[in-house]
């Protein structure tokens, strides 16, 4: 990117240059205008929609240099979320790091389903009129645990992860949303553990959710270069066919779930039949289904422990 003689350009020009560079980039940038606006809004510390209100507003030299560096990083393939250090999920901002996955809209299906179960009074806690007890297995940045705690007032949420760096990011998110959490009267506990290894066989949870790794080691061709090069492989890959973590969870989760409790697990776009078969063979569930995402792809295994 080039600068005017005085070293500053206005918002309109900065966006135009960035979009031009993004459009010519070999990186996986599907929405160049949107991403340029997101980066510039971050530099200017304003909401994205506001930058269009002042197209002739000039950037300082420092703002322009910062924006230029961000554009260069994005052109190299680094995801926007890692450049900003945060990303939106369920209309809230969350911290992310290179040791956590970038939050994706597909994962919001888990939140939507959990809230429907609450509204329909399908959780065991609804029948006993007690607070919901929820587990997020493999929490990463903590977005599912936090969102459920904030959306289900009075709930008690436990979030596990084997990665200490990931839990540090989750802890930052807990601090960032502590006022909301207090207002919702919910509690959240972070535990450094490999899936459910910290729990005895004790059926205490009404709801278990997870976004485990589900990409096969022989499926690297389905991932964009940005994902392969920047996102943590331990949170992406799970055995040769991608189902190792799902298989483990389907077997282990019933031991910590109340009868009639639900397990919601994100899966790969082609894993619906396999996930259903794993759940059926376990003999521990009386309701088994797969929900699809907006693109019509398999996205979430939904099972209920036999009551």
15-49 pLDDT, tens digit per residue, is 999 999 998 877 788 899 999 999 999 999 999 99
What structural domains and CATH numbers belong to the chain? Answer: 11-77 (1.10.8.10), 86-305 (3.40.50.150)
Q: Is the pLDDT of residue 166 over 90?
A: yes
52-61 pLDDT, tens digit per residue, is 898 999 999 9
Residue 208 backbone dihedrals phi, psi, to 5 degrees: -120, 130
273-296 pLDDT, tens digit per residue, is 999 999 999 999 999 999 999 999
Checking DSSP bridges between strand 285-292 and strand 298-305, what pairing results, if any?
A: antiparallel
- pTM assigned to the model: 0.93
Phi-psi region of 267 (alpha: psi -120 to 50; beta: other; left: phi over 0): beta
Q: Is the pLDDT of residue 241 over 70?
A: yes
* CA angle (242 as vertex; 236, 245 as ends), nearest 5: 80
61-87 pLDDT, tens digit per residue, is 999 999 999 999 999 999 999 999 999
CA distance 5 to 3: 6
244-277 pLDDT, tens digit per residue, is 999 999 999 999 999 999 999 999 999 999 999 9
């Amino acid at each position: 990117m080039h600068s005017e003689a005085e070293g500053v350009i206005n918002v309109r020009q900065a966006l135009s240059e960035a979009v031009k560079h993004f459009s010519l980039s070999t990186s996986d940038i599907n929405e160049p205008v949107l991403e340029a606006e997101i980066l510039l809004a971050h530099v200017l510390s304003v909401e994205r929609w506001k930058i269009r209100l002042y197209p002739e507003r000039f950037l300082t030299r420092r703002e322009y240099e910062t924006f230029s560096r961000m554009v260069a990083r994005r052109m190299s393939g680094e995801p926007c979320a890692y450049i900003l250090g945060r990303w939106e999920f369920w209309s809230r901002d969350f911290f992310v790091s290179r040791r956590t996955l970038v939050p994706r809209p597909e994962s919001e299906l888990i939140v939507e389903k959990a809230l429907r179960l609450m509204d329909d009074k399908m959780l065991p806690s609804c029948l006993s009129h007690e607070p919901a007890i929820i587990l997020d297995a493999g929490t990463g940045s903590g977005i599912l645990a936090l969102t459920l705690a904030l959306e289900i007032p009075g709930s008690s949420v436990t979030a596990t992860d084997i990665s200490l760096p990931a839990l540090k990011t989750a802890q930052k998110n807990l601090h960032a949303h502590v006022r909301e959490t207090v207002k919702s009267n919910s509690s959240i506990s972070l535990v450094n553990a490999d899936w459910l290894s910290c729990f005895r066989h004790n059926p205490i949870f009404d709801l278990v959710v997870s976004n485990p790794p589900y990409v096969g080691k022989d499926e690297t061709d389905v991932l964009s270069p940005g994902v392969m090069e920047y996102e943590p492989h331990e949170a992406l890959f799970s055995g040769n066919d991608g189902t190792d973590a799902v298989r483990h969870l389907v077997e282990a989760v019933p031991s910590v779930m109340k009868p009639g409790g639900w397990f919601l697990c994100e899966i790969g776009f082609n894993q619906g039949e396999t996930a259903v078969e794993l759940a059926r063979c376990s003999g521990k569930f009386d309701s088994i289904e797969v929900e699809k995402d907006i693109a019509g792809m398999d996205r979430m295994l939904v099972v209920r422990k036999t009551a």
